[in-house]
């Protein structure tokens, strides 16, 4: 076989970059179009908005690196979940997934609001009311901690403390207007930690969303599952567990009432080889409504951590394969019609690089927007 492509004599040692970056697929007739927003985990605070040709339409430079993601708010400003410089040091891997330094910035980059919470970790949602909904870590009461099961007890902290989760909502003044403690409603003995995880944090809520009926969706990382909570009564309305999902992220309600998640696939029941999928399930039964996995080789689509899915206005699904910086769009029948690989690679700053080495183009979550939703562009 011959090729006209010049083969580098000094190969790039970053495997993902060597395979190709930027826009690698685009079917304009079947893609929803619009603009894609992402905040790289190692981009030192840069947030990019690109068009479907991969060209930068706008860029923000935020004061701190991304803790998690960024979104465009209804008023056109940027909502940013930044990594707090002096976040609580709760356990060795904590710095990998905390945020806690929230900003709202105009398109020109002017900061118009800031909120800090050094105990925040993982996801946060900017609600239609203007309030911010997010998860914080707090020590599990001793009687509850004694009921935590599963996981790897050899990795327990010397102090015996197990962190757990509180979901908190704050208003524009930073005042707490709603709070929900998971240990008041779930028994740790009924939600065992997967063997792959240590027991420093149970059950680690890594994703939040609000439904049209006001339920709060919560994704449970270390136990695999999604729950829905009635914010008025605090009761868990439904729970879909490890028989349906595997270390999932970012639950979102669809118009039909089904739930769309990024199903990471670590330790998936019945599978010896991990693979990820976009999964839509019926919350009443846990049964699959729709799913996408790579059609040629399931393992070719896999992010062991982070990840997101978004249903687009034309029925397509936008997916963020976070660990490998791959953002792509698929049709309902599973055809890839747009794909972009983030071209910027860098190492995580210390001390994170002791837990996750190498060069990364990862982002926690990415979002697609219609052009009319960004009137200032």
The pLDDT score that the predictor gives to residue 108 is 97
150 near 227, Cβ under 8 Å? Answer: no
Residues whose CB falls within 8 Å of the CB of residue 241, separated by 6 or more in sequence, listed in order:
223, 224, 225, 286
Number of domains present in the structure of the chain: 1
- Chain centroid offset of residue 109 CA: 24
Cα distances (angstroms) measured from residue 44 to each of 100, 212, 282, 298, 330: 16, 35, 39, 32, 30
The pLDDT score that the predictor gives to residue 269 is 80
In a domain, 2, yes or no: no
Full residue range of the structural domain in which residue 166 is found? 18-373
40 near 363, Cβ under 8 Å? Answer: yes
The pLDDT score that the predictor gives to residue 2 is 47
In a domain, 163, yes or no: yes
In a domain, 315, yes or no: yes
In a domain, 140, yes or no: yes
Nearest to 256, CA basis, from 281, 229, 231:
281
The pLDDT score that the predictor gives to residue 158 is 85
In a domain, 1, yes or no: no
The pLDDT score that the predictor gives to residue 1 is 42
How far separated are the first and last CA of the chain, in Å rounded?
A: 47
The pLDDT score that the predictor gives to residue 278 is 98
In a domain, 8, yes or no: no
In a domain, 329, yes or no: yes
In a domain, 9, yes or no: no
The residue written with tokens 């105009």 in the block is 106
The residue written with tokens 């997967």 in the block is 194
Can you give the CATH number for the domain in which 228 is found? 2.120.10.30
DSSP SS3 for 282:
coil
The pLDDT score that the predictor gives to residue 92 is 87
Task: List the Cα angle 141/227/181 in 5-degree steps.
Answer: 25
Q: Average pLDDT per run of 10 along the chain, which is 377 residues long? A: 64 87 97 98 98 98 97 97 96 92 98 98 96 98 96 87 97 98 98 91 98 97 97 97 96 98 90 93 97 94 97 98 98 97 95 89 98 94
Q: What is the pTM of this model?
A: 0.95
């Amino acid at each position: 076989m011959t090729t006209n492509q010049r083969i580098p004599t000094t190969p790039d040692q970053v495997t993902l970059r060597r395979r190709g970056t930027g826009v690698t697929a685009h079917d304009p007739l079947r893609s929803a179009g619009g603009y894609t927003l992402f905040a790289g985990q190692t981009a030192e605070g840069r947030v990019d908005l690109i068009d479907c040709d991969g060209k930068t339409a706008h860029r923000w430079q935020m004061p701190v690196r991304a803790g998690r993601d960024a979104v465009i708010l209804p008023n056109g400003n940027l909502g940013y979940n930044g990594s707090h410089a002096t976040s609580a040091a709760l356990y060795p891997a904590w710095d990998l997934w905390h945020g806690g330094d929230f900003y709202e910035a105009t398109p020109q980059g002017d900061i118009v609001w800031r909120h800090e919470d050094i105990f925040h970790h993982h996801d946060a949602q900017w609600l239609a009311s203007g309030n911010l909904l997010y998860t914080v870590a707090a020590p599990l009461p001793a009687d509850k901690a004694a009921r935590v099961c599963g996981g790897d007890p050899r990795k327990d902290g010397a102090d015996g403390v197990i962190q757990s989760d509180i979901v908190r909502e704050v208003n524009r003044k930073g005042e707490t207007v709603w709070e929900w403690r998971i240990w008041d409603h779930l028994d740790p003995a009924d939600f065992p930690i997967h063997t792959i995880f240590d027991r420093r944090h149970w059950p680690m809520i890594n994703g939040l969303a609000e439904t049209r009926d006001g339920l709060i969706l919560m994704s449970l990382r270390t136990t695999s599952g999604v729950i829905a909570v009635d914010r008025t009564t605090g009761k868990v309305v439904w729970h879909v567990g490890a028989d349906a999902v595997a270390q999932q992220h970012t639950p979102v309600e669809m118009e039909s009432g089904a739930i769309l998640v990024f199903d990471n696939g670590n330790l998936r029941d019945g599978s010896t080889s991990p693979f990820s999928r976009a999964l839509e399930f019926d919350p009443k039964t846990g049964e699959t409504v729709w799913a996408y996995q790579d059609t040629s080789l399931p393992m070719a689509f896999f992010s062991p951590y982070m990840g997101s899915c978004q249903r687009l206005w034309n029925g397509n699904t936008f997916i963020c394969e976070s660990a490998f910086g791959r953002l792509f769009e698929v049709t309902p029948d599973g055809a890839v019609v747009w794909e972009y690989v983030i071209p910027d690679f860098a190492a995580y700053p210390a001390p994170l690089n002791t837990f996750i080495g190498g060069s990364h183009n990862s982002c926690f979550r990415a979002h697609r927007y219609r052009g009319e939703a960004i009137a200032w562009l």
